[in-house]
Amino acid sequence: MSDATMIPAHPGEVTRERILRLADELFARHGYARVSMRAVAGAAGVTKPALYYYFRDKDALYEECMLVMQQRQASALRDAAEGAGSLGERLTAVAHALLTASAHHPIRVMSDITEHLPPDSRERLRQGFADSVVGPLAAFFTSAQERGEVRDAVTPELAAATLLGVCMSFLPAAADDPEALQVPRVQIDGPGSLDPDRAAGIVTDLVLRGVAGSPATSAR
């Protein structure tokens, strides 16, 4: 690679962060396989050599996008979990953070990581997910359990997995291929709509109260 191709196309204008942001939007919309480095370069307004100046290949670019996403999720979850209020209010804030912190559907992400990335990248992202999402959620329920707000029989890890599973039903599939993920999605206000505030409230109600009616009703 010559010195000329190592120089960014628009120094001071198109930055590494801009490339990451636009690549992240493309990956979230289309998935790993349907996004080319040419498409990323075009969206960012740089030449392909300039793009490779920042990222050695598509695997490296995708992994970096996912790591940034995980950092964003971790920050949003920490802020929500540390808020004031009752367990229900705090849980609603945490659910809202899960629903809005990323445009990526977790099932598509897991599929793309498994199918396309090398083992070392898969392990880094697996650990990143554990640290940025599962860990903070388990810590949230551990704290609630210590306050007497969650039954001792419920492990924090199980509570975290339950919350993630319920939230997943409210996440939109890829905008360009809504059937691709084959994930049942809850419709709240009609086809194609998602109200994160209402969704977070419903998630909280399901996690805290389950699906049974009153004791008298459920015993019949």
For residue 173, pLDDT over 90 is answered with no
pTM: 0.80
The rounded percent of the chain whose pLDDT value lies above 90 is 64
Arithmetic mean of pLDDT, 156-184? 72
In the structure, what pLDDT confidence band is assigned to residue 5 with cuts at 50, 70 and 90? Answer: very low
In the structure, what pLDDT confidence band is assigned to residue 168 with cuts at 50, 70 and 90? Answer: confident
> What pLDDT is recorded for position 15?
78
Per the CB < 8 A criterion, the answer to whether 196 and 99 are in contact is yes
For residue 191, pLDDT over 50 is answered with no
For residue 11, pLDDT over 70 is answered with no
Q: Which residue has the higher pLDDT, 115 or 103?
A: 115
For residue 139, pLDDT over 50 is answered with yes
Domains identified in the chain and CATH numbers: 70-210 (1.10.357.10)
Direct distance between the N- and C-terminal alpha carbons of the chain, in angstroms, rounded to an integer: 75
For 41-70, the pLDDT digits (tens) are 999 989 999 999 999 999 999 999 999 999
The least confident of 13-22, 83-92, 124-133, 167-176 is 167-176
